[in-house]
Amino acid sequence: MKQRKLGTQGLTVSELGLGCMGMSMAYGTADESEAIATIHRALDLGINFLDTAEVYGPHTNERLVGRALRGRRDGVVVATKFGFRIGDAARGVNGSPENAKRVADESLARLGIDRIDLYYLHRRDPSVPIEETVGAMKELVDDGKVRYLGLSEVNAETLRRANAVHPISALQSEYSLWERRVEESVLPAVRELGIGFVPYSPLGRGFLTGTLKVHTLEENDFRRTHPRFSADNARSNERIVEVVRAVAHECGTTPAQVALAWVISRGDDVVPIPGTKRVRYLEENVRALDLQLTAEQVARLEGLAAMTAGERYTPEMMKLVEQ
């Protein structure tokens, strides 16, 4: 698999990563054996960029990734995140220097590795100057516990301030055919500063695959709480999927591959991390790397974000996203 550079500090990863969150939480019933088989298949296919976080579970996803990597650590880029205040669940944010260092040590232990390859601040803590948070993250680099630094869901100003303390290698934010607000000011800042961009939810949390039926989601599926997945908004958002399906039909491929190919095509500094917990969907996603959309098809896909009905998170969760 081809490699792409993230940032200017030497981080190189496969052109497609694997989001591991759904293997442990958020998307219905977990199946650890299938999840580990999916990670192993990803490695076999050349995907070497795995994404997890302290809050996923919480804690259980890092442990799962650690178990999957036993005997297969070499060449794998492990990304994890800190920044949520965790009790029985995520309860606000904590970007304090003390938390940055504590979580790094705990994540290393859960993952069973001696260094975190990419350490993200998961959400900015508005009560802590970003310079203090990134300063502590820089100390982790100096101490050899972390290789590269990243941020998630911050605005252009925060990104510039953070990068002045220590070079940021990657920004992770939501980006897809139905969510493109980062294009307004964040992506230009990313490129101005030479930072890599890691889109999460490039398949719209499964909606853009054309296979998801909102009424069939399990009771513990967190998408049930998201405005875009309400019955009325989902019906409206089917208009987006109809266009993606039409393009997929022309290409002889699947809507998921069309949606993912569009994200992959946004630049050589873009490395999406579609999440899945099943081998068959992983293999479908990888085939998107071979899909070349025509200029006419891209033009038809370009306007879909303007059709999106509903916000991407609940109001409470949106407060944690810098606009």
Contact 137, 87 (CB under 8 A): no
Give a yes or no: residue 314 inside a domain.
yes
Give a yes or no: residue 218 inside a domain.
yes
Q: Is 287 exposed, middle or buried (0-12, 13-18, 19+ CB in 10 A)?
A: middle
Annotated active-site residue 175? The verdict is: no
Give a yes or no: residue 219 inside a domain.
yes
Cβ-Cβ contacts under 8 Å for 305 (sequence gap 6 or more): 177, 178, 179, 180
Give a yes or no: residue 302 inside a domain.
yes
User: Where do the H-state alpha helices sit in 126-230?
Assistant: 130-142, 156-165, 186-193
Give a yes or no: residue 87 inside a domain.
yes
Q: How far is CA 134 from CA 158, 193, 194, 200, in A?
A: 11, 16, 17, 22
Catalytic residue among 56, 119, 120, 281: 56
3-state secondary structure of 221: coil
Residue 323's pLDDT is 79
Contact 193, 160 (CB under 8 A): yes
Cβ-Cβ contacts under 8 Å for 170 (sequence gap 6 or more): 6, 7, 11, 79, 118, 120, 148, 150, 151, 195, 196, 197, 198, 271
Residue 87's pLDDT is 72
Contact 172, 150 (CB under 8 A): yes
Give a yes or no: residue 57 inside a domain.
yes
The overall pTM is greater than 0.75: yes
Q: Is 205 exposed, middle or buried (0-12, 13-18, 19+ CB in 10 A)?
A: buried
According to DSSP, the residues that pair with 82 across neighbouring strands are 121
pLDDT in tens, the chain (323 residues): 999 999 999 999 999 999 999 999 767 777 899 999 999 999 999 999 999 999 999 999 999 999 999 999 999 999 999 999 987 445 699 999 999 999 999 999 999 999 999 999 999 999 999 999 999 999 999 999 999 999 999 999 999 999 999 999 999 999 999 999 999 999 999 999 999 999 999 999 999 999 988 988 888 888 898 999 999 999 999 999 999 999 999 999 999 999 999 999 999 999 999 999 999 999 999 999 999 999 999 999 999 999 999 999 999 999 999 97
Neighbours of 97 (CB within 10 A): 16
Count of the separate structural domains present in the chain: 1
Give the gyration radius of the chain's Cα atoms.
Answer: 18
Cα dihedral sign for 18, 320, 150, 199?
positive
How many whole angstroms separate alpha carbon 173 and alpha carbon 152?
6
The boundaries of the domain holding residue 280 are 3-318
Residue 26's pLDDT is 65
User: CATH no. for residue 273?
Assistant: 3.20.20.100
Q: How far is CA 287 from CA 6, 75, 283, in A?
A: 22, 22, 7
Residue 160's pLDDT is 98
Give a yes or no: residue 146 inside a domain.
yes
Q: How far is CA 95 from CA 107, 122, 124, 173, in A?
A: 16, 9, 7, 18
Give a yes or no: residue 323 inside a domain.
no
